[in-house]
């Protein structure tokens, strides 16, 4: 298996898949990588639907703006964020786990102050709209874990965010499950694409404010 660094360097968006099936153990391993991802307050909002059925993949292709490779891949993992993981009951459960596992004792700064935490806990419940940012951000982390594990196992993936709003209706899923991405999974076919361009380090590195000032004078 590749190291994390090797997988990060070698990963590409794969849009051509061989028809060969992939073993259940591999699917389980990529899901396990997703399961172990970190999340704010350990809410773990992600859930995954593993789709192997040809007809369902065909329908997924249609829902995802007719992107052909979605039907081609032997497995498609549909990734959702579950708003229920932010419910008061879920919050209470995670808080108890924090206490049971000794996490509270490791907190520092204002977060270590029980009064500050109590005030945070008693804040009004956020709206669905407000929850979408943490829900998507945290689910993205788990998805990228999954993608890198797939790469390390020699599988190809492609993040797919382009989709119409019909996923829940097609799978008969409730509204609390928010579709986040669709990940086709399979052995890459044909040539592995070259590395896509990336911004240079200088372009993504911000200068500390003091340095800006010094340059201005």
Binding residues for ligand FMN (CB under 6 A): 12-13, 15, 67, 158-162, 181, 196
Q: Which is nearer to ligand FMN, 4 or 116 (CB)?
A: 4
Contact 80, 50 (CB under 8 A): no
Euclidean distance between CA atoms 166 and 113, whole angstroms: 45
Looking at the Cβ atoms of 25 and 203, the one nearer to ligand FMN is 203
Structure token digits, residue 110: 């204002």
Residues 6+ apart with CB under 8 A from 166: 63
Compare residues 16 and 52 and give the one whose CB is closer to ligand FMN.
16
Whole-number Å distance between alpha carbons of 142 and 133: 15
State which H helix or E strand residue 128 sits in: helix 128-152
Q: Distance between CA 17 and CA 8 in Å, rounded?
A: 20
Q: How far is the CB of 188 from ligand FMN (least distance, A)?
A: 11
Q: How far is the CB of 146 from ligand FMN (least distance, A)?
A: 12
CB of 88 to ligand FMN, least distance (A): 30
DSSP label at residue 127 = P
User: With respect to ligand FMN, which residue has the nearer C-beta, 13 or 87?
Assistant: 13
Q: How far is the CB of 147 from ligand FMN (least distance, A)?
A: 9
Minimum CB–partner distance for residue 196 and ligand FMN (Å): 4
CB closer to ligand FMN, 15 vs 43: 15
């Amino acid at each position: 298996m590749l190291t994390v660094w090797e997988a990060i360097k070698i990963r590409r968006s794969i849009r051509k898949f061989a028809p060969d099936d992939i073993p259940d153990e591999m699917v389980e391993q990529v899901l396990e990588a997703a399961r172990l991802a970190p999340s704010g307050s350990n809410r773990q909002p992600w859930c995954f639907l593993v789709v192997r059925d040809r007809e369902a993949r065909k329908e997924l292709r249609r829902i995802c703006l007719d992107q052909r490779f979605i039907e081609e891949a032997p497995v498609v993992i549909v990734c959702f964020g579950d708003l229920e993981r932010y419910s008061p009951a879920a919050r209470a459960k995670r808080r108890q786990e924090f206490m049971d596992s000794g996490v509270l004792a490791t907190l520092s700064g204002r977060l270590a102050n029980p009064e500050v935490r109590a005030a945070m806990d008693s804040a009004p419940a956020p709206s669905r709209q407000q929850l979408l940012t943490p829900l998507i951000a945290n689910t993205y982390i788990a998805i990228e874990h999954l993608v890198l594990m797939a790469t390390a196992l020699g599988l190809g993936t492609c993040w797919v965010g382009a989709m119409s709003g019909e996923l829940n209706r097609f799978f008969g899923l409730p509204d609390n499950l928010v579709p986040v991405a669709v990940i086709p999974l399979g052995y890459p076919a044909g040539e592995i694409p070259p590395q896509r361009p990336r911004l240079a380090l200088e372009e993504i590195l911000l200068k500390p404010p003091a340095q800006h000032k010094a340059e201005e004078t």
